Amino acid sequence: MVKHLGKDSIEPKLIPGKYQFYTMRYCPYAQRVQLVLNAKKIPHDPVFINLTEKPEWYLKMFPAGKVPALTYEGKFLSESLLLADFLDEQHTQIPLWSNSPLQKILDKIFIESFGKVASSFYKFMMTGSKLEKNNFDELVEYIKLIESELKIRSTKYFGGESPKMVDYMIWPWFERIDCIGIFSKNLFIFPFDKFPKLAEWRNAMITDEAVASYYLSPEKHAQHFINRKAGLPAAFDF
């Protein structure tokens, strides 16, 4: 269990030579940056922020009060995709973006289009008091496009023969999709059997070191969504 810092918390001291990484344990956007930090083995010091009752020192530093964010050389940096680019350029060991500008923009356009999966997943999970079949069907429709993309690429991972930036940027939502069964008490089960390429990819991703070391079980993710729906804070520690 990690402890999220809330309203009256004290700002943790900066550790020189390390990034201060502001995050929230259940935020998929923050997880993107965590995966990049892990994959590139970049020293960092995570600070978990309670997003429901934000620390005053954090709001003073960053009025938008969002995560993920990094401090570096006294500068405050934010936005998951911008941070991913920055870390890949600043730490050139273990490059995660393709060195082909064309492949890189195609990956970025794909990641942008993946936004539909992210938003339809949250719509299904969080809208109303009852889970809706049409929202679930919409999510499944969008996932079809992701399966097709992997088929067209005909590689094990979206980024080639090992996980690359494009894989890490979409992974957080796939980690969460597995919790639909538990969350819905088996009313809805995500049909991975209909998506053989994605199912293989998912199984391979889970064993990747960067992913595995930050992985949360479907039970944990389901509990987070149950807590959120019950009106508990966004960073409820359990």
Tell me 7's DSSP state: T
Site membership for a copy of itself, residue 59 (CB under 8 A): no
Site membership for a copy of itself, residue 82 (CB under 8 A): yes
Q: Residue 131 is which amino acid?
A: L
Site membership for a copy of itself, residue 94 (CB under 8 A): no
Q: Residue 194 is which amino acid?
A: K
Q: How far is the CB of 26 from a copy of itself (least distance, A)?
A: 24
Site membership for a copy of itself, residue 78 (CB under 8 A): yes
Site membership for a copy of itself, residue 102 (CB under 8 A): yes
Distance of CA 167 to the CA centre of its chain: 11
Task: Calculate ∠ Cα 212-218-221, nearest 5°.
Answer: 95
Exactly one of 27, 49, 69, 84 is catalytic; name it. 27
Q: Is the CB of 14 or the CB of 212 nearer to a copy of itself?
A: 14
Q: How far is the CB of 202 from a copy of itself (least distance, A)?
A: 27
Site membership for a copy of itself, residue 119 (CB under 8 A): no
- Can you give the C-alpha Rg of the chain in angstroms? 18
Site membership for a copy of itself, residue 83 (CB under 8 A): yes
Question: Alpha-carbon distance 173 to 184, whole Å?
Answer: 17
User: Residue 179 catalytic?
Assistant: no
Owner of token pair 């389901």: 222
Tell me the site size for a copy of itself, rule CB under 8 A. Answer: 20
Tell me 158's DSSP state: T
Site membership for a copy of itself, residue 89 (CB under 8 A): yes
Q: Residue 217 is which amino acid?
A: S
Out of 12, 57, 65, 108, the residue judged to bind a copy of itself by CB under 8 A: 108
Q: Is the CB of 79 or the CB of 200 nearer to a copy of itself?
A: 79
**Residue 108 exposed, middle or buried by CB count within 10 Å (0-12, 13-18, 19+):** middle
Cis bond before residue 55 (omega within 30° of 0): no
Out of 11, 45, 53, 85, the residue judged to bind a copy of itself by CB under 8 A: 85
DSSP count for the chain of H helices, then E strands? 11, 4
Provide the annotated active-site residues.
27
Chain residues in the site for a copy of itself (CB under 8 A): 72-73, 75, 77-79, 82-83, 85-86, 89-90, 101-102, 104-106, 108-109, 112
